[in-house]
Amino acid sequence: MQVTNKLTPFFENLNFERDDNTMVINFGPQHPSAHGQLRLVLELDGELVTKAYPDIGYLHRGIEKMAENMTYNEFLPTTDRLDYIASTSNNYAYALAVEKLIGLEVPRRAQVIRTMLLELNRIISHLFFLATHALDVGAMSVFLYAFREREFAMDLMEDYCGARLTHSAVRIGGVPLDLPKGWLENLTIYLDKLPQNIKMYEDLLTENRIWKMRLEDVGTLSPEDAMSWGCSGVMLRGSGIPYDIRKEEPYELYGELDFDIPISQSCDSLGRYKLYMEEMRQSKRILEQLIEMYPQTEQKLMAHAPQYISAPKEEIMTQNYALMQHFVLVTQGMRPPKGEVYVPTESPKGELGFYIKSEGEPYAYRLKCRAPSFYHTGLLQEILVGTYIADVVTIIGSTNIVFGEVDR
């Protein structure tokens, strides 16, 4: 029996003394390849995983509870802390849900800027995935190269909004700032260099014998399981199901843009890795189209809805009524109409959706963040069984989970 006292608590799911020769090990919560705070309890028969139990909650901050106690605008910077690798995609998903609830039309220039930021965040997130995944599998140099590219992309984000990680670059009703001078030129320079960098990563990895041995037929996920486990994003497309929310349920400008949805029929980690590489190229294509769209838009950044959104600064400083409305919005917060909304968006990790139940108060009655990584973590308990311990890290890396989002 375990000797339990206050410093060595009793774990009912762990059995240290067994008759068979299986061994129970704890992977994490401080394992560098756990991508955050994942504790994985693995039952091993030799090197074969016979049972896997993901234990999460080490980064639980109660973000949904905080949402019920913050006004709608107050909550927006908190969404940065969900998927902190690509925070603009969280800001955007939340802002879009509130806009759908209110029924706002966002000005076109704001739409162009938002879509640009979303795609830039996708590149940042995919580069991060590539870097950490390669590092987990053992390819150190790719990590350094990919982080170099990610730094340049984060410099672009910094030039736009001043922050590198927690952007808060989107507001409910539009964007707060126009693009600074020279930003598009810098973006063009970045995009021109991106394909040759992606090609370099592929030259280093795709045909690499070790990389293929570590990834091919590892973490196979059948289409039925992918659907049943609620997978989304690359995990779903990696199993041969062509579903991308940007294409199927277009939001923002994605309906007008020309891009392809790559899918992979191989259902394994190598196929998913290839999808990430291809998606970066598609993001580049989208960004190039947006750069051409930008000059044709009018210089208006926030939607006009004085009941919900403060008027522009000039109006507040010159018109009494605009100032009064601004005062009410700042002190009390906006009151969206009663109703409920669920809006899905395609974040770099998968389907990121916000369910908001509004009772007509300045505080959301209930906010549920549908995080893709949460369901991809649940998947681990099935996908890991029957694999070898050496592949566990590959599979966790391949699911691309981020714990800010899993634990919320």
Partner 1 sequence: MRKYTPKDNVQAKAYYTDRFWVAPRVPRQAVEDEHFKAVVEALGERVKEAYVEINNLVLHIDATQNYAVLETLKDTCGYKICSEISAVDYLAKEGEFEIFYQMLNLDKAKRVRVVCRLKKGLAIESVVPLFKSANFAEREMYDMFGIKANNHPFLKRILMPDDWEGHPLLKTYPLQGDEFASWYEVDKIFGKEYRDIIGPENRDPARIDRYDTKRFSRVGYEVPFDTDISSGETKTPIEYSTTFLTDYNTGTKQLDKRK
Single out the residue of 341, 393, 396, 402 in contact with partner 1 (rule: CB under 8 A).
341
**Residues ≥6 apart with Cβ < 8 Å to 1:** 17
Single out the residue of 339, 385, 388, 389 in contact with partner 1 (rule: CB under 8 A).
339
CA gap 131, 135 in Å, rounded? 6
CA gap 351, 371 in Å, rounded? 7
Q: Is 271 within 8 Å of 265 (Cβ atoms)? A: yes
Contacts with partner 1: how many residues (CB under 8 A)? 60
Phi, psi of 364 (to 5 degrees): -65, 135
Least Å distance, CB 39 to partner 1, is 12
Count the neighbouring beta carbons within 10 Å of the beta carbon of residue 46: 11
CA gap 73, 330 in Å, rounded? 9
**Residues ≥6 apart with Cβ < 8 Å to 177:** 160, 161, 301
Q: Which of residues 368-397 bind partner 1 (CB under 8 A)?
A: 368, 370, 374-375, 377-378, 381-382
- With 0-12 CB in 10 A as exposed, 13-18 as middle and 19+ as buried, what is 30? exposed
Least Å distance, CB 259 to partner 1, is 17
Q: Smaller CB distance to partner 1: residue 216 or 340?
A: 340
Q: Which of residues 64-123 bind partner 1 (CB under 8 A)?
A: 64-66, 68-70, 100-101, 103
Q: Which of residues 144-163 bind partner 1 (CB under 8 A)?
A: none
From 16-24, 27-35, 283-291, 355-363, span contacting partner 1 (CB under 8 A)? 355-363
Q: Is 334 within 8 Å of 309 (Cβ atoms)? A: yes
**Taking CB under 8 A as the rule, does residue 15 contact partner 1?**
no
From 30-38, 76-84, 220-228, 315-323, span contacting partner 1 (CB under 8 A)? 220-228
Binding site for partner 1 (CB under 8 A): 6-7, 9, 12, 56-57, 60, 62, 64-66, 68-70, 100-101, 103, 225, 227-230, 232, 241, 243, 248-249, 332-333, 335, 337-344, 351, 353, 355, 357-363, 365-366, 368, 370, 374-375, 377-378, 381-382, 407-408
